[in-house]
Every structure is written in C-alpha cells, then in structure tokens.
Amino acid sequence: MQTFTELNMPVRLLMGPGPSEIPPRVLRAMATPLVGHLDPEFLTLMDEIKSLLQSVFRTKNEMTLAISATGSAGMEACFVNLLEPGDEVLIGVNGVFGGRMVDVAQRAGAKVHRVDAPWGKIIEPSQIAEALKKCKPKVVAVVHAETSTGVRQPLEEIGKLSHDAGALFLVDAVTSLGGIDVRVDDWRIDAIYSGTQKCLSCPPGLSPVSFSPSALEVIKNRKTKCQSWYLDVSMLGTYWGTERVYHHTAPITMLYALRESLRLVVEEGMENRFARHQGNHELLREGLESLGCKFLVDPQYRLPELNTVFVPPGVDEAQVRKRLLDEYSIEIGGGLGDLKGKIWRIGLMGASSTPNHVNALLGALSAIL
C-alpha cells in the first residue's frame, strides 16, 4: 500500500507572474479556527473585507465583494452579468488576457468587436474612438495590467470615450490592484475584477470585484437570466449585502487571508506601496540592463510589478529558468503565445517586491549568464 509523507514543499523566491509570496501575518490568519459562513462574527468579517476592498479599489460602490473563485471567474462574472445574447462588446486585445476576454464574451453570446495592438504596446485611445464610430457596444473592455506582456494600459481616456458612446467600461485589474494606482470612481469604471495572488499577496482563490450603480441598473433590467448561477451578482449581492441570503458556503479560511492581506495594504498606505513597487522595478531595471537584457515595453508603459525582458541572444531561456529554480530556488516566468521562448516575465508583486528579491535574482542571473 502506498504511503504518503507529511507535506514538505520547497521554499522558493516567487518572482514569476504569480503567485507572489505570502506574508507571515496572512499565513497566521489562515490558521484561525473556522466558524460557520453564516456565523455573526463571520458576517462582520465580510463587512470588513468589503470596506477594505472599497479602500483599495478607491470606490464607494456598494456592490464590492470577493467572488469565491480565482481572477478568471471574476472576469467571467463581469461579462456574463453585463452581457446578454446578441449584445455588442468592444474589447482591446494586446496580449493573452485581452484574448481571453474575447473568448468569455463570445461564450456569453455577445457579438465581439476587437481592437488589436502588437504585444508589448498599449491600446491607443484613437483606436477605440475609431472603432466606436463603427459599432454601438454595450460594454467596452480593456486589461489594465497585461500579465503576458508587462504593459500598463492608460484607462482614463478610454473610459471617457466609452461613456460618451453610452457604453459601460469594464477593466481587468488582476495584476494591477495593490501594485499601481486603480481609481474605480475617478476613472468611472463600471465593472472591475482582480485576483488575490498578485500584488495583494494572498493565496490564489478569490476574485475581488466591484460594480457601479450604472452596471447594477443594467443587471437589474436584463431580459434573460444570467448565464451563470454561481456568478450571478444579483444573488451574490444578497449574501454580501444586508439580507444575508445563503448562496454558497464561502471559503472561510481564504477570506481570513484576504482580510489580513488587505489590512497590510492599508497599513502600508497606497502611495507608499506604489512607490515601493516602482523603486524595486528601477533597481531591477538597472541590474538587468547591465546584464544586457532589453525590455519589451516602452518605459512610460511598463508595469513595475511585472517586468518583461528579451532573452539575450544565444541563451536558452527555459534552461536558465530551470537553473534558477534548481540551483537558487528562484521562480521567474517565461513568455506566452507569440512571446514564448523570447522573453522572461519577472514579478515584483506585493511581498515579493523587495530589494533582497531583486539582488538575489540579479546575482543568480549574473552567475548563470
């Protein structure tokens, strides 16, 4: 009979595109004894999480909550709640996750109009403006922080163009929330989703989302039921709201973790947190350039939390990553799609964004290269 030993995973420096490292305080929170998902103390904790998420999203939206699934479920929740079969949607695609938006919207029965840009470049507002002359979408969607390319997409002008055209504005903030500024109310974002495992430094498994009053009005006036029972915001809202109507058994331990990770974000201060990510990015940039690595993205559009650099000529990128893992216990990511084998994706997210992480990676890369 096969026997199984006690779990003993290696300790890694997590510097890939996610997950990031988990602070000890978050791990301790996960050891808190369970209570029921309708226990009064747990309902109070849910209210605290909602308030903390509103602070981090910089919004007053009442429909702000954590979906009990990963960031991809947050993406699906935003699309399937806002779109009905036959609705038009305009989506900016400049990487893997813009492409995933297209797939999700099509599965919801929507008619998708794409605006494409080369991987490593932003979606220009002029492209959106031109596309809006040719279609009347219900929703305009873009990725704020494209994890496959390291591009930071400016949002304000596209948001204005969307609203001027009578469309809702939907944003993917999976890799941006907690690492760079996200201003839901100021930028008039109607639906936004994120993930816990990136700059929030919480284990993967929850998806923070927020819906504006305008988005909720659209959801309220649907002609058909939401495609997904589990992700139906009208029902999730009654569990997270004052009614406390049972919907599903919440992942209690994960919500303990999210509460503590959000407390850490708020304690550090949003501006301090953004400055930390930017400072460690600059330290990494200087070191990588000294090793002959060139960045994929133009400086003004680079994500400080997700750095993409071309593999130097003649270097086996997969072999370097293997040696980093085997010899130094450091994880970085490779390229996806068109960029597979061409770039490295180096994460400096949340608790993984420290000078020690940067210096450890640069020392290891220097020795290997």
Amino acid at 368: I
Tokens 């704020």 — which residue?
A: 144
CA–CA dist 265, 198 (Å, integer): 13
Domains of the chain: 13-18+270-368 (3.90.1150.10), 24-266 (3.40.640.10)
Cα dihedral sign for 117, 123, 124, 125? positive
CA dist., res. 133 & res. 154, Å (int): 21
> pLDDT tens digits, residue range 197-217?
999 999 999 999 999 999 999
Q: What's phi and psi for 297, nearest 5 deg?
A: -100, 145
Which amino acid type is present at position 185? D
Contacts of 271 (CB under 8 A, 6+ apart): none
pLDDT at 1: 86
Query: Cα(231)–Cα(193) distance, rounded to whole angstroms?
Result: 13
Radius of gyration of the CA atoms of the chain, in A? 21
Query: How does the average pLDDT of the chain come out, rounded?
Result: 97
Each residue of 92-131: pLDDT tens digit? 999 999 999 999 999 999 999 999 999 999 999 999 999 9
Torsion of CA 266, 270, 272, 275, to 10 degrees: 140
Q: Minimal CA–CA distance to 322: which of 337, 344, 339, 338?
A: 344
Alpha-carbon gap, residue 18 to 349, rounded angstroms? 8
Predicted confidence (pLDDT) at residue 338 exceeds the cutoff of 90: no
Runs of H (alpha helix) within the chain: 24-29, 40-57, 71-82, 96-107, 125-132, 156-164, 213-220, 233-240, 252-268, 270-290, 317-328, 355-368
pLDDT above 90 for 330: yes
Q: Tell me which residue has tokens 């990031």.
A: 20
- Nearest Cα neighbor of 64 from 236, 317, 199 is 236
Percent of the chain with pLDDT strictly greater than 70: 100
For position 181, what pLDDT does the model report? 98
| pLDDT tens digits along 138-184 | 999 999 999 999 999 999 999 999 999 999 999 999 999 999 999 99
